[in-house]
A = this chain, B = another copy of it.
Amino acid sequence: MPAEAGGPTVTRIGVIGTGVMGADHARLLTEAVSGARVGGVFDVDGGRARGVAAASGGARVFADPYALIVDDGIDAVLIASSDATHEDYVLACVAAGKPVLCEKPLAPTVEACSRIVEAETEHGSRLITVGFMRRFDPGYTGMRALLTAGEIGAPLLMHNVHRNPAAVPGLPGSALITNSAVHELDIVRWLFGEEIVEVAVHTPRPSGQAGGTRDPQLLVLTTESGVLADVEIFANARYGYEVRCELVGETGTVTVDAPPPTSLRRGGLHARALPGDWRPRFAEAYRLELQDWIDGAAGGASAWDGFAATFVAHACVAALTSGDRHAVDLPPVPALYRR
């Protein structure tokens, strides 16, 4: 199709980290998001970066991520590199005054997250978005709309299931919380608009398929107003990827299960296929998250949300270790993040 050069403004995104997540984001920015394009790419693996740059309509490849961040041809930055590198890149974006979308977790430690929040607070306006994409998933937004509309009365309980088919053997049990359950920690905070104040973790005997990991686990979270949310996190569930939840209110419940549009009758079964991993399950959430970010609509998680999720996750890790209930004493919310 013939097309002009020029036209409306297009935001040029610099992508740092072009593994599975980064490459997927670059593809969406190029093919499925309005008003954006990939302007630059950095990856520790230069070949991988060049491949993604080529697939993104000829984006520039940077040898230095900090050069990418400050480059005049880059309007905003998407960070999908390894967790340990998030802090430095995010801080550089803040220093450069550039909007940044950082994949979850914001940073692996509470201290690192805290430094990021401080930097943004000092900067004085919000530049950081954390990639908790479930906030854009039609299932979760539908659930929140039903709750807000009063369709199930005041919330009391929430049951969450989060299963992956397989994890790396030898993964520490804490990683199930900090890498996976962190999504539910964010969703609970977002859904109820309040903080988690107490956590406990129960564990069955570990699965023989879990390669020594303390897997599965059952988290029990209590919010400020007394809503109780349990989370089954199971990293080696084998049968497929599945994220489901049921929210129980005083007069009804909402379930998010996101069945696919087709079902199959074959071989004695009537079946719906389950996704193999999180990407097909949350494809629409990622697209909407990026569009929202490009549009500047601010529907995403803030640096404070990223800090709080990591803070609660570490309380859960402590509860996993001790077997006891742990109080979660979050510091007060800085003014920048108050609604």
Binding site for B on A (CB under 8 A): 1-12, 30-37, 57, 73, 75-76, 99, 137-139, 142-143, 146, 151-154, 156-157, 159, 161, 200, 202-205, 207-209, 216, 218, 220, 222, 225-228, 230, 232, 234, 237-240, 242, 246, 248, 250-274, 276, 284, 291, 293-296, 323, 325
Contacts and interface: CB of A to CB of B under 8 A. Distances in A.
Contacts of A227: 204-205
Contacts of A154: 207-208
A284 B238 CA distance: 30
A146 B264 contact: yes
A248 B234 contact: yes
Contacts of A159: 159, 161, 232
B4 A75 contact: yes
Contacts of A234: 156-157, 248
Nearest to A33: B34
A279 B76 CA distance: 33
A218 to B, nearest CB: 6
Contact of A143 (B237, B248, B262, B295): B262
A151 B265 CA distance: 9
Among A200, A237, A263, A274, max chain B CB count under 10 A is at A263
Contacts of A73: 4
Nearest to A275: B268
A276 B267 CA distance: 10
A1 to B, nearest CB: 4
Contacts of A139: 261-262
Nearest to A32: B34
B226 A205 contact: yes
B205 A152 contact: no
A140 to B, nearest CB: 8
